[in-house]
């Protein structure tokens, strides 16, 4: 049997019930609760929870339950129900989102899937992880080919300084080259064969 790794624990089932949850409303670009002095901003989808915890808040207008991120203070961090790389994290005004460099990643989960994301390989060579981070942050930006990719994977960077969050980038392989791409900033960088050994020997095949 091929080995698979679930990159992120699935969230609890959405109940739609607001009983015992903190009621939130949307105002001026934030989810807020005035009485409790809570205010949350939506993070770009680069950021994903490593593990989803208990229900904490409820936004009635969208019938949306917000969950704790396991290991983090829910007054500072919340997350939607798990939806793969489309999961939205919410963070308070007291927090600043770390850059990929500030997260000091030392591992990458190479993942596939949409609603449920599965790992097919893990890169634990810190030198390779460091090279990939440097290429993304400092490499020459190129045009994203967009269509007809041969392979596509989600790269989830595991953080040393922020162990409860993943940082997501997308891996695309085309006939003309191999790239990592940020769907939020639209930044695209060619990485050559840096991840070739892990992709070729992934648990998928």
**Closest to 124 in 3D by CA, of 157, 163, 161:** 157
| Residues 102, 119: Cα–Cα separation, whole Å | 24
What is the percent of the chain with per-residue pLDDT over 70, rounded to a whole number? Answer: 88
Which pLDDT belongs to residue 64? 94
* Residue pLDDT, tens place only, 50-67: 999 999 999 999 999 999
Place of tokens 């791409």: 181
pLDDT at 172: 92
pLDDT at 147: 75
- Per residue in 14-43, pLDDT tens? 333 456 899 999 999 999 999 999 999 999
Q: What is the arithmetic mean of pLDDT over 97-122?
A: 88
% of the chain with per-residue pLDDT over 90: 72
Task: Render the burial of 132-169: b for 16+ CB within 10 Å, e for the rest.
Answer: bbebbeebeeeebeeeebeeebbbbbbbeebeebbbbb
Per-residue confidence (pLDDT) for residue 116, from 0 to 100: 64
Say what the pLDDT of residue 115 is. Answer: 59
Q: What is the pLDDT of residue 113?
A: 74
pLDDT tens digits, one per residue of 135-181: 999 999 998 877 778 889 999 999 999 999 999 999 999 888 999 99
* pLDDT at res. 145: 79
Distance CA(152)–CA(138), nearest Å, equals 22
The pLDDT of residue 195: 94
* Arithmetic mean of pLDDT, 112-138: 88
The mean pLDDT value of the chain amounts to: 87
What pLDDT shows up at residue 6? 39
> Residue 14's pLDDT is what?
36
What is residue 19's predicted lDDT score, i.e. its pLDDT? 60
Token pair for residue 187? 């930044």
């Amino acid at each position: 049997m091929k080995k698979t790794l679930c990159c992120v624990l699935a969230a609890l089932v959405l109940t739609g019930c607001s009983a015992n949850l903190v009621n939130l409303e949307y105002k001026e670009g934030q989810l807020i609760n005035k009485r409790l002095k809570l205010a949350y901003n939506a993070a770009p989808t680069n950021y994903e929870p490593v593990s989803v915890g208990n229900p904490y808040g409820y936004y009635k207008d969208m019938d949306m339950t917000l969950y704790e991120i396991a290991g983090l203070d829910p007054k500072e961090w919340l997350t939607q129900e798990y939806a793969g790389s489309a999961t939205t994290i919410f963070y308070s005004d007291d927090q600043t989102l770390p850059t990929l460099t500030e997260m000091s990643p030392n591992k990458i989960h190479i993942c596939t899937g949409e609603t449920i994301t599965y790992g097919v390989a893990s890169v634990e060579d810190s030198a390779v992880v460091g090279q990939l981070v440097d290429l993304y942050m400092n490499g020459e930006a190129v045009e994203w080919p967009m269509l007809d990719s041969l392979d596509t994977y989600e790269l989830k960077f595991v953080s040393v300084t922020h162990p409860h969050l993943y940082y997501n980038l997308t891996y695309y392989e085309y006939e003309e080259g191999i790239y990592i791409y940020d769907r939020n900033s639209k930044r695209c960088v060619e990485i050559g064969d840096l991840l070739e050994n892990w992709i070729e020997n992934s648990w998928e095949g």
